[in-house]
Chain A
Amino acid sequence: MDNIAGTKSSLTWAVHLSVVLLVGLWLFPTVGLLVSSFRTADQIATSGWWRALFPSEQNLVLRTGAPSDQTQEGSLYVIEGNLFVEDGKPRPEATISVWGITSQDIAAYSAGDTADRGADGRVTVLENGDYRFEKDSAFEGRRGDRIFVTARTPPEFTLRNYQNVLFDPSNREGMSKAFFNTLTVTIPATIIPILVAAFAAYALAWMDFPGRALLIAAVVALLVVPLQLALIPLLKFHNEIGIGKGYLGAWMAHTGFGLPLAIYLLRNYMVGLPRDIIENARVDGASDFQIFVKIILPLSFPALASFAIFQFLWTWNDLLVALVFLIDSTGETTVMTKQIVELLGTRGGNWEILATSAFVSISVPLLVFFAMQKYLVRGLLAGSVK
């Protein structure tokens, strides 16, 4: 509609600008979490993530080398080194502007100055973090002295959070286990309802029998029945038939809850398939079973894909069904959403763990979303009750 007479160019600019604003607003929170998951705990705690992309002015507390590192130069005892070297590993380039030797006055000296501490010796700190600490008598004690610096550090990102959350065998968060548990719940819970629903949808779309209209109405009604009503009766039922809490119960529950949407979506799609093809096949002597398997199923692929994505996203992202039907007191079958809620409770301040765990859980649905968005949109359009 760009070229319709009367559309003003100033308005076009306003449109572009508003869309940029809207998209920015919608992306901003997610980007925040993504950026945070690549920062160290220190960085997250000391500056907002939006500063992570630029060099930042940080106040750091660093230590000189331990007295065990001292060397003797004539009558002087000297410790030399670089303040930014930590555990033998150098940190990325940073430039010191001001520094101090007490926490009361952290900006007492400029880079290159020498601080005279009287009997405690003299310290010189250069811009790049090199320092020289000299004293007339030997250094004692186990740890080095504290130096308070104000440094400009370049943006720095790390993959260590992901390493910790996913691969560290000693980590208590157990995200890798939860990841596989989630996958174990999701895949059967996605595939089985599709098959059951496809047959039912075919019957509702192309077979004539008394009560068909009533059944379709019932499916539409069940679409909106809240999951909450099913919790207690089904938990009781699962306990009575002896499967209790576990994968089997979760698979069955997800199948049951996913069916109305599946049947509704698939039926709507199948009804739209050309009547001629099906009637020709009937005339040629194909049975309903053959028609379904050889004609309807292949033609319904887009609808099947739509529902598969819905069900996948829903089961992967689910918390309530997992809490009620899956996770028992041992916690062996915990899923990612539950792990994250637990982290929110116990380690609410540890954003590096939280952000990374959340992103591990979000990444798979996001991949599916961007890869198969076409089918998702198509499903949404067909699935919302008209």
Chain B
Amino acid sequence: MHPAFAGLLTIVIGVGGCIAYYYFSNQFLDRVLFPPKGPNAGRNINRANMIRPWLFLAPALIALGLYLAYPVVETLRLSLTDRSQGGAFVGLDNYRQMASEPKFWEALTNNFLWLLIVPAFSTMFGLLAAQLTDRIGWGAIAKSLIFMPMAISFVGAAVIWKLVYDTRPIDQEQIGVMNAIYLSLGGEAPKTWLTIPFWNSILLMVVLIWIQTGFAMVILSAALRGIPEETVEAAIVDGANPFQVFFQIKMPQIASTIVVVWTTITIVVLKVFDIVFAMTNGQWETQVLANYMYDKLFRANDWGVGSASAMVIMLLVSPILVWNVYNARKEMR
């Protein structure tokens, strides 16, 4: 069967199935199980209303449980077992083996670098762009152009930036902007940027900053517009200059939004995979956890260590997870 046709069929079956499920399960509840008539009408209505939410929730709960909650537990279990010994429990052996690999420590160090640099610069550029574009007539156009990289895939972005970092032999004309600039500023020989340790990691981070700045800008720009006009006006009347207005009046009022942007980008950074996979594949000391894990799982076929490294990512995400849940609950009260 042609895959496009299969896709169409899936849409029809999936959508039709969902609608049929919701419709008939509701009908069944109201007509057959607890009909709102007869001697127990009142009790039946109450019972039906107790069950109905779960009818609405069931497909989503099953999918969430199976595709997100169960894997967390299962990955934890896999990280404590050895596949080559038939899945025997080996305690922390996988973690110990992982800790003995220099590649893991390289990935962890790099991830921390990413965590420090990418959210900071994305938020900073985002804030700058938001503040500047809010004040000019063509700000909307400027915003959508800065926002555009959000729509580009990490892989597409990798290609775009590989062209920027491209290197040609010294006797040929450079087609990568970076080398062209480097040579015109008096550099002696073109450099293969992506093979220079430390700096190559920074160059990969630039790609993610380029993508995430638009996100930060959009959220922060909305927050800036939400600031009560009176506070700004009062500050100006009191003789504050634009910089004082920005840093002492506006910044404190959007601090909570900055935290949101920062944490959201942090999560993206922790999962970053495609950029490294496509540009260097972790060579020349650019390894990160997500790519290290992919290597372990699908190249080395080592499920134990792979799962252990996945758990490390989970562990790093956990504080943000707890913080988000805490905030969401506070807001609901």
Q: Which B residues are within 8 Å of any A CB, using their own CB?
A: 3-4, 6-7, 10-11, 14-15, 18-19, 22-23, 26, 30, 50, 52-54, 56-57, 59-61, 63-64, 66-72, 74-75, 78, 125, 128-129, 132-136, 139, 142, 144-156, 158-164, 166, 172-177, 180, 210, 213, 215, 218-219, 222, 232-233, 236, 241-242, 256, 260-261, 263-264, 267, 270-271, 273-274, 277-279, 290, 293-294, 297-298, 303, 306-307, 310-311, 313-314, 317, 320-321, 324-325, 327-329, 331-332
Label chain A's interface by main secondary structure.
Answer: helix
* B298 and A361 form a contact (CB under 8 A): no
Contacts of A207 in B (CB 8 A): 52-53, 56
* B146 and A22 form a contact (CB under 8 A): yes
* A333 and B310 form a contact (CB under 8 A): no
B156 nearest CB neighbor, chain A only: A362
Tell me, in angstroms, the Cα distance from A373 to B148 when the chains sit together. Answer: 9
Contacts of A230 in B (CB 8 A): 67-68, 71, 75
Contact of A380 among B53, B218, B324 (CB under 8 A): B218
* A197 and B324 form a contact (CB under 8 A): no
Shortest Cβ distance from residue A177 to the other chain B in the assembled complex, whole angstroms:
10
Interface presence of A138 (CB below 8 A): no
* A188 and B147 form a contact (CB under 8 A): no
Size of A's binding interface in residues, CB under 8 A: 121
* A26 and B328 form a contact (CB under 8 A): no
Interface presence of A16 (CB below 8 A): yes
A289-B23 contact in complex given A224-B324, A256-B68, C-beta closer than 8 Å: yes
What are 11 A-to-B residue pairs whose CB atoms are below 8 Å?
A22-B129, A26-B146, A29-B177, A29-B210, A195-B18, A199-B57, A220-B328, A233-B74, A237-B66, A365-B151, A369-B150
Contacts of B129 in A (CB 8 A): 19, 22
Interface presence of A159 (CB below 8 A): no
A351-B175 contact in complex given A23-B146, A196-B60, A385-B324, C-beta closer than 8 Å: yes
Q: Which A residues are within 8 Å of any B CB, using their own CB?
A: 1-2, 4-7, 11-12, 15-16, 18-19, 22-23, 26-30, 32-33, 36, 44-50, 180-181, 183-185, 187-188, 191-192, 195-197, 199-200, 202-204, 207-209, 212-213, 215-234, 236-237, 247-248, 251-253, 255-257, 259-260, 263, 287-289, 292, 313, 316-320, 323-324, 333, 337, 340-341, 344, 348, 351, 354-355, 358, 361-362, 365-366, 368-370, 373, 376-377, 380-381, 384-386
Contact of A251 among B10, B324, B331 (CB under 8 A): B10
* A26 and B213 form a contact (CB under 8 A): yes
Contacts of B163 in A (CB 8 A): 29, 32-33, 36, 49, 351, 355
Tell me, in angstroms, the Cα distance from A98 to B125 when the chains sit together. Answer: 49
Contact of B148 among A232, A317, A358, A366 (CB under 8 A): A366
Shortest Cβ distance from residue B210 to the other chain A in the assembled complex, whole angstroms:
7
Contacts of B78 in A (CB 8 A): 232-233
Tell me, in angstroms, the Cα distance from A289 to B158 when the chains sit together. Answer: 46
10 smallest beta-carbon distances between A and B, as pairs: A256-B67, A317-B153, A200-B60, A369-B151, A233-B74, A203-B56, A230-B71, A358-B159, A184-B7, A233-B71
Shortest Cβ distance from residue A271 to the other chain B in the assembled complex, whole angstroms:
9
A180 nearest CB neighbor, chain B only: B4
